Structure 1
Amino acid sequence: MSEIIEVMQKLIKDFQNPFLEQMFSQISHGKMLRSSMVLAIAGKNQQSIELCAIIELIQLASLLHDDVIDESMIRRGQKSINASYGSKSAVMLGDALYAKAFYHLTFFDSLIAQSLSNAVCRLSSGEIYDVFLAQSFNPSKEKYCLMIEEKTASLIASSAECAAILAGLDAKDYFHYGKCLGIAFQIIDDILDITQPQEVLGKPAMNDFKEGKTTLPYLFLFEALDHEGRERLQGLCGKELNQDEKKWIKDHLEKYSCIEKSQQLAIGIAKDSLVKIKNPYNPALKEMIDAMIQRSF
């Protein structure tokens, strides 16, 4: 991963802008799931390293914009760029990362450029979907699944597809792998937002619900509650919760096994990711699924 970060830093230096470099240097690069997947599929070579750098720039750009939209002051345990430099600077840095990524995409096969460009279109659509769904209580699992498929899974699916193109493998099969992995990854993320403390998450616990987002565990809970319980859950969504309110939600999530149901759905989707990949067998892809499902942050 250090080689990928070095390429990213080189691309940033091309701007010859010390303020941009300063902001970029304060970004945490996280788990770099997409890069791990690309290298597992395409192997390590100069092209795959450069592709990973482009994908990571796109991912970082989307997170910069996401933090501005959500007014998040913390990202991966440290101050977000918008918290340190303001929303205007964060948005412009995101735009710069997108522009740099797309410029360097032009040196790749047109199928790769088209795949990633389309993924960013879908990612942006998913962001808009997410914003509008959070304006009122969303009780629909179908809308939730569509949103996470666009917002999270689209770039992961495209990354797998592009890696397969580089390696001369069946792009459609690997796109399916990435899409399933991305959907399951987001479901697990949404579960951890409830089950893990701020010290582990690097952001406040139950932050999604405070922002008005009804993720899968809350959707299972809404289905299980009676009319009075549903009204209370809807009333709590999108507000700062006190300890009693958090306890009421967590007690009922446990009562109706909402976390377990969400985990089982994520596991089923993740297992389906390998259905189309028969040959050649790649144990690294199975290991990625296991690690993603079993993670605690």
Structure 2
Amino acid sequence: MQKIDQYMHEFLSELNYEPILTMSSKLQGGKKLRSKLLLKIANENETSYKICAIIELIHAASLLHDDVIDEAKLRRGVKSINAEFGAKNAIMLGDILYSKAFYELSLLDLKLAKVISNAVVKLSIGELMDVNLSETFNTNKNAYLQMIYNKTAVLIEASARSGAILAGLDEDDFAEYGKNLGLAFQIVDDLLDIQGDEQTLGKPAMNDFKEGKTTLAYMYLYEKLNPQDQAILQGYYKKDLNESEVAWIKNKMHECQIFEQVHQELNVYANNALKAIEKYNIKDLEDIIKSMIERDF
């Protein structure tokens, strides 16, 4: 991962403007799932490192804009860029990261450029879908799944596809793996927001519901509640919840076995991902699925 960080730093240093380096130095590194995935498929070489650095710049840019939209104060346990430097600076830094990534992408293979740039278009559409779905209590599961595919899974899918292109493998098989991995990844994130704690998550627990994100667990719970309890759940939507209200939601989820239901769906995506690449027998990709599902942050 150090090689990828080095390329990212070089790309931004070329812009020769100190505030960019100051703010970007505060970005939290994260898991680099997309880079790890690409390198496991394509192996390590200078081209794959550069593609990883480009994808990480794009991912960082999307998180900067996401935090501004959500007015998030924390990112992985530390001050978000918008909280520390202001929303205007965060937006412009995101634009710079996107633009520099596209410039570097233009210097590489055209096919890879098409795959990644198309993913970024869908990613941006996913952000817009997320904003629109957050306006009301959403009970449309298909709309939610389409949104998380665009917002989260599509860049993971593009990373896997790019790795396959670099390695001369069947890109559709690995794209299918990446798509299902991405969907499962977001569903785990959504579960952790409910089941985790602030210290582990690096952000307030159950923050998604406060921000207007009705994830699978809330949708499934709503389906199983009686009309009176449905009204209570909707009354908690976008609200600063106190301890008793948080306990009410969690107790209802346990009573209705919501977590088990979500885990069943999660396992479907995980199995679909593994099935897509089973003929290649790449244990590292199997391990990525396992570690992603079993993570606690």
Structure 2 residue 129 is matched with structure 1 residue 129 = yes
With structure 1 as the length reference, what TM-score do the two structures score? 0.99
Q: Does 1:105 align with 2:105?
A: yes
Partner of 1:94: 94
Kindly tell me the number of residue pairs found equivalent between the two proteins.
Answer: 297
Corresponding position of 2:118: 118
Cα distance, 1:259 vs structure 2: 1.3
AA paired with 2:46?
Q
CA displacement, residues 85-125 of structure 1 (integer Å, 9 cap, x when unaligned): 00000000000000010001112221110111110111000
Letter in 1 for 2:146: L
Instruction: Identify the residue that residue 295 of structure 2 maps to in structure 1.
Output: 295
Residue type of the alignment partner of 1:282? I
How far apart, in 1, do the equivalents of 2:200 and 2:26 lie? 20
Correspondence 1:153-232 to 2 at 5 A = 153-232=153-232
1:46 alignment partner AA: E
The 2-side partners of 1:275 and 1:168 are apart by 20
Q: Which moved more, 1:137-146 or 1:181-190?
A: 137-146
Q: Mean Cα displacement is larger for which, 195-204 or 266-275?
A: 266-275
Q: TM-score, normalized by length of structure 2? A: 0.99
Query: Per-residue deviation at 1:274?
Result: 2.1
Q: CA RMSD in A?
A: 0.8
Partners of 2:24 and 2:285 lie apart in 1 by 30
Q: Which residue of 2 aligns with 1:150?
A: 150
Matched, 1:38 2:18: no
Matched, 1:233 2:233: yes
Aligned partners of 2:276, 2:85: CA distance in 1, in Å?
Answer: 45
Q: CA deviation at 1:3?
A: 1.1
Q: Distance in 2 between matches of 1:280 and 1:107?
A: 31
The 5 A counterparts of 1:12-27 are 12-27=12-27
In 2: Cα distance, 1:228 partner to 1:124 partner? 37
Determine if the alignment matches structure 1 residue 10 to structure 2 residue 3. Answer: no
In percent, how many aligned pairs have the same letter?
A: 48
CA distance in 1, matches of 2:270, 2:12: 35
| Alignment-derived partner of residue 139 in structure 1 | 139
Q: Secondary structure at the match of 1:247?
A: helix
Q: What do the CA deviations read for 1:150-181 (whole angstroms, capped 9, x no partner)?
A: 10001000110011101101111111000000
Q: Which runs of 5+ in 1 are unaligned?
A: none
Task: Give the Cα–Cα distance (whole angstroms) in 1 for the partners of residues 76 and 27 of structure 2.
Answer: 9
**Alignment partners' CA distance in 2, 1:274 and 1:37:** 13
How far apart are residue 79 of structure 1 and its match?
0.1
